[in-house]
Amino acid sequence: QIDEAEVVAFSVPSYACLRRTTLDNHNPVLTDALSLLAENAELSDEDGRGVAFRRAAAVLKALPEPVTGVTQLRGLPCLGGHSLRVIRDILENGASSEVEFTKQSERFKALKVLTDIFGVGAKTAERWIRDGIHSLHQLQESGQTLNRAQQAGLEHYDDLKQPVTKAEADAIGEIVEEAVVSVLPGAQITLIGGFRRGKLTGHDVDFLITHPEEGREVGLMPKVVSWLESQGFLLYQKTTRNSYLEAKDGPARPASNMDRFERCFSIFKLADAEKRGTKQTENTPEDTCRLAAHSQVTDEGPKPASGHRRWRAVRVDLVVSPISQFAFALLGWTGSKLFERELRRWAGHEKAMSLSSHALYDNKQGRYLKATSEEEIFTYLGLEYIPPSERNA
């Protein structure tokens, strides 16, 4: 019998951008369970439910110690009946029947395997599943037409599933830096995304590129990409143009959450650590042969004498921002995704402002608020500054 008075009750603000969420998660079993249900909802075109589970998981990530009983959760925000049921199940029975059922379900497993292919989203996976495709093997046998991204995703499936380490992220950073300063001296790169929040691994590496003189960044991305391509660093790339125009009469409603920076989704060819020191040049004939033989989802094919490739594929995102938007881009691309969503919700609902990765617009004053640092943006929003390492909501 637990004395109610001895149970620690937690208190947590309801907006994730009012909380400090480090990577020191004291409730990983509970947050993994809720994140899995969030993922399943997102893959099933139920975004509302997805966000609800993400918010519930984020509240538990912010707790200072492990939850031992549901009475401790009384008064916590964002924990709906469904999430509470899952938490209770785990606390009382060691597992949630709904989570276990979802994990085992053929539909979820197929959605996971297929959307783990770079270039494949929930819609495409759904269509393939309806055609009876549940595995990579079935996909290859099916004769489905794959676009260029999906072909690259399938070819490098095993590599891209391996988490990227911080050491690999730093090695790629050095290469991108060399590319950027070679084509535009004075240009700067910043590591963004999960690695900027202090994560030790990631599913990709994200970089923001700018130049201290406004306008010099125009046309930079194609040059960076050409440089990287000429050095043999890119296995795949797709560049999209900048489509952002500051409206004079306030922010135009964006079609989606996607921002409009010039950006490049790519797959890097990263040499193994022991080979990195030596400058990477064109693919050697041996490499080319390995590339052709390296069809991981079918059979292994002939291996070179060494038995090992000396490189791996890594997903890399590059974004170019003009210096006038740099602080907003930095804040918008550091994440986490939920932290970003909550910042925009706070801005809109509590401050009558519109925040994007490009700008902050004050609806009451009818003007854009300029900022040169993340700290300034938090101040405009009436928020205490939260450093990147505490944005892991």
Tell me the catalytic residues.
Answer: 204, 206, 317
> Does residue 259 interact with Mn ion by CB under 5 A?
no
Neighbouring C-beta atoms of residue 50, cutoff 10 Å: 18
Contact partner at residue 357 from ligand TTP, Mn ion, none, CB < 5 to 8 Å by partner kind: ligand TTP
- State which residue, 233 or 361, has the beta carbon closest to Mn ion: 233
Written in H, E and C, the secondary structure of 291-303 is HHHCCCCCCCCCC
Binder among 50, 153, 193, 388 for Mn ion (CB under 5 A): 193
Strands 311-320 and 205-210, sheet pairing: parallel
Residue span 309-348 as binding mask against Mn ion, x where in contact by CB under 5 A, dash where not: --------x-------------------------------
Shortest Å, Cβ 98 to Mn ion: 29
- State which residue, 27 or 336, has the beta carbon closest to ligand TTP: 336
- State which residue, 96 or 392, has the beta carbon closest to ligand TTP: 392
Shortest Å, Cβ 124 to ligand TTP: 17
Shortest Å, Cβ 377 to ligand TTP: 15
For residue 223, the SS3 value is helix
Contact 250, 363 (CB under 8 A): yes
Lookup result for tokens 């369970």: 33
Shortest Å, Cβ 356 to ligand TTP: 9
Residues in the chain: 393
Contact partner at residue 24 from ligand TTP, Mn ion, none, CB < 5 to 8 Å by partner kind: Mn ion
* CB < 8 Å & 24+ apart, contacts of 341-344: 341/51, 342/15, 342/16, 342/17, 342/393, 343/17, 343/381
Contact partner at residue 155 from Mn ion, ligand TTP, none, CB < 5 to 8 Å by partner kind: none
Neighbouring C-beta atoms of residue 360, cutoff 10 Å: 23
Lookup result for tokens 């101040």: 379
- State which residue, 236 or 333, has the beta carbon closest to ligand TTP: 333
- State which residue, 96 or 237, has the beta carbon closest to ligand TTP: 237
Q: Tell me which stretch binds Mn ion (CB under 5 A): 22-30, 94-102, 273-281, 361-369.
A: 22-30
- In the complex, the residues that contact ligand TTP under the rule CB under 6 A are 193-194, 199, 202-204, 206, 258-259, 332-333, 335-337, 340, 357
- H helices of the chain, where? 28-43, 47-61, 81-93, 97-104, 106-115, 122-130, 136-142, 148-155, 157-161, 166-183, 193-196, 220-230, 273-276, 285-293, 326-334, 337-351, 374-380
Q: Tell me which stretch binds Mn ion (CB under 5 A): 104-112, 172-180, 189-197, 240-248.
A: 189-197
- State which residue, 110 or 189, has the beta carbon closest to Mn ion: 189
Identify the DSSP state of 108: H
> Does residue 388 interact with Mn ion by CB under 5 A?
no
Task: Please name every residue paired with 314 in a beta bridge, in sequence order, or none if there are none.
Answer: 268
φ, ψ of residue 377 to 5 degrees: the values are -65, -45
* 18: CB partners within 8 A, 6+ apart: 346, 383, 384
Shortest Å, Cβ 340 to ligand TTP: 5
> Does residue 106 interact with Mn ion by CB under 5 A?
no
Contact residues: Mn ion, CB under 5 A: 24, 193-194, 202, 204, 206, 317
